[in-house]
A and B are shown apart, each in its own frame.
Chain A
């Protein structure tokens, strides 16, 4: 380490030096006399006026003047935030805190504990380690706090780190490592993970592969479905995987609301997966599947599912022809309330999960997700510009959008409808020859879908493409049960309509707003979505990622972008700010002046 160059972060602050001459003039123009009470000023009137006030008088420059001038100059210099450059050895620690780090090693401790011990040891033996910055990889790569001075603070922060239930994104982790490797200021990058780093490893990157591969058995997915409309029993499918070198008999036990309700076993070959089914699970709020035998990674031996995934969704159908809405009652899990446009009230909206406006538009922006079917032109809330057509034809649609997923538009036969002109904040998803036919947009935390055709009445299998499109739209707007694959740890989801708070599996309650992105689902378990009336809807969130469960075959991370970077470790330069040192000097000078002046006054008084 050595001194190299001084610099200023805020050189513009040096302009304040311009006030120094003004202060000197003010100092000279008005010296601050000490005040003393005397018996009479009679004899003082005859004395000369103060020398500093006399015309042409000798200016007085006591030592305090120069001291205060120095303090002022130092203050201006401190405002300019000076620094000097020195060679340093800052370290970045990238610690993998993903779910796989919970796995136990043959030694009996977790991979996370091993990683923490290894990083602590590496920091302790890094000569000249300056600032340490800690990064975690799950659920997304992110820094923890800022740069920590000294290895002690960094080790304390690292020791507090725990592995979460969510996997990480290997590509994002590789991008982070590449970015850090490209940063010339860093002297060393320590990466501790269960994944190796693909060769060639950049010279400044120190990979630490933690934990030998261990045998693991996992539950991959736990899906519930209602096989028959109106049936109370649910059908469960559970995926089991064997990531051990030998064939293994896996036994899974399902409990509903804490009571055992089913058990099954399967013989699974090494490296293979299979599915066990429970066709008649009695209704329960929360289902829990537990896999035997136990292994070194318990997180994927448990999975949760909820019966509410197929719960009834309250739909408010507002239309001049309310009979169209009655047909929605044929969809299992929907409860429909119909109102005419003149009769619906804010209370009706508050009690619904989503609203459907047919041939009408809301009086104000609804505070819930809504489907607007063939709205009249020029309504004051959405201000749709529509062009009516006796027959509308679909010309384009995306093949991967969630609204159009599984819809065969070629079989969709539309008759009279209306085309939407360009809308200020809603985007067309399905278009026709004359404009948009299905718009989607988001406002004030809620999602809105507008169609230029009428999917109602709901005909079910009688018009399958339209029924799938209708179910896609309703499922997306309702937010419940729209995902067949369930919810995974670390993946954010949109807070459904009417939800005010979410209780995490740990019991902590988080206040949320409908429509917002909820990204705190990093723990496996059951989350309780609490509505306005205090009714809680459980939602199961599982790891359910067999690539994470495959502990033996974790692909290495490739820092390809960083390999081409020249080795800049020797040139790593850090800025050492001087403002704090200047402030200390200023304070010491002021204190010294105060002490000296006080003692002088005491001496004068004592005379």
Chain B
């Protein structure tokens, strides 16, 4: 439908319309919106008092306070602005394996769903693709619900490929991001844990509100298709490891993958980041509803 992934059924879009992005801190936006901004403005949310100065609008004088203190004070309110939403998708070669898991397809669907929520709320969205083959969307904000089609067209034309070291790649992206905002990072995080945590730490250092979305394949997690003597080849680095795989080794492998995921999750919780894990063998729609809170979404 309009080039959107197959997961975007009318029912799913209706559900997305009911969601909005919640941030843990206030960010200055670029225009009027629905998110409280640290700037003073004209919302109903009280912010502070200050002494009356000549020329101030009489309507904001707190007459109660004047009665108690015999001094004129002006009531200040917070501004409501749009939210700058950054979505990063890992399109390295590892996202393409195993092919039957469609990890990259699920990552794109997740990114588009988040972008749709933001655009439907009047927020600005910038999607950045790390590695991959194809033409990524330009590094500019898009506004308006209708732009989801453009984003979908760009992202579905990208194929996973290449190698990504998360920390340096995100450091390069940070140079282009001038303003703080909400960050979604979608990846399989199949890398050395310190590489992932250093990358995520860059965002926290920049005062961003970060949600890490880890996507693993169901077959990948179970080690399906691997049995007997196998020489496994790393899709990104080409590194080769020879192993004999039986049921015991398969369990051991699964435990190792889940342990790596737990390390990412622990880091996120300790540093005030949202984190959620999705395995592709589970339903995408259920995941989005069930993990809405973990994703930093509210109804």
A residues near B (Cβ < 8 Å) are 31-53, 60, 604-605, 607
Contacts and interface: CB of A to CB of B under 8 A. Distances in A.
A171 to B, nearest CB: 75
Interface stretch (B60-68, B202-210, B238-246, B290-298): B238-246
A53 B242 contact: yes
A34 B230 contact: yes
Contacts of B260: 42-43
Given A36-B230, A52-B244, A47 B236 contact: no
B226 A36 contact: yes
Contacts, number: 102
A380 B298 CA distance: 116
Contact of A47 (B192, B235, B253): B253
B98 A39 contact: yes
Interface in B212-251: 217, 220, 224-237, 239-245, 249
Contacts of A37: 97, 232-233, 235
Most chain B CB within a 10 A radius of its CB, from A31, A36, A38: A38
Contacts of B192: 42
Measured as residues with beta carbon below 8 angstroms from the partner, the interface class of chain B is: 35 or more
B100 to A, nearest CB: 9
Interface of B is mostly: mixed
B191 interface: yes
A343 B139 CA distance: 100
23 contacts: A32-B229, A34-B228, A35-B230, A37-B235, A38-B98, A38-B232, A39-B94, A39-B98, A39-B103, A39-B190, A40-B191, A42-B191, A43-B253, A44-B232, A46-B253, A47-B243, A47-B245, A47-B249, A48-B243, A49-B244, A50-B229, A52-B229, A60-B229
Nearest to A60: B229
Nearest to A37: B233
Interface in B148-176: none
Nearest to B236: A40
B233 A36 contact: yes
B223 to A, nearest CB: 9
A41 B244 CA distance: 14
Interface of A is mostly: loop
A53 B256 CA distance: 22
Contacts of B249: 47-48
B95 interface: yes
A36 B252 contact: no
B257 interface: yes
Most chain B CB within a 10 A radius of its CB, from A40, A48, A51, A607: A40
Nearest to A57: B244
Interface of B: 93-98, 103, 188, 190-192, 217, 220, 224-237, 239-245, 249, 252-253, 256-257, 260
A365 to B, nearest CB: 70
Given A604-B227, A605-B225, A38 B235 contact: yes
B231 A604 contact: no
A40 to B, nearest CB: 4
Contacts of B98: 38-39
A34 to B, nearest CB: 5
Given A49-B243, A604-B225, 11 more contacts: A36-B230, A38-B98, A40-B188, A41-B241, A43-B253, A43-B260, A49-B244, A50-B242, A50-B244, A52-B229, A60-B229
Nearest to B96: A39
Contacts of A45: 241
A39 B220 contact: yes
A39 B237 CA distance: 10
Contacts of B244: 48-52
Contacts of A60: 229
A36 B232 contact: yes
Given A36-B225, A40-B236, A52-B244, A46 B252 contact: yes
Given A34-B231, A40-B236, A604-B227, A46 B256 contact: yes
Contacts of A40: 94, 188, 190-191, 234-236
Nearest to A46: B256
B242 A33 contact: yes
B234 A38 contact: yes
Contacts of A50: 229, 242-244
Nearest to B234: A41
Nearest to B228: A34
Contacts of A605: 225
Contacts of B231: 33-36
A607 B94 contact: no
Contact of B229 (A34, A46, A48): A34
Given A33-B242, A47-B253, A50-B242, A39 B188 contact: yes
A372 B242 CA distance: 86
Contacts of B243: 44, 47-50
A409 B112 CA distance: 123
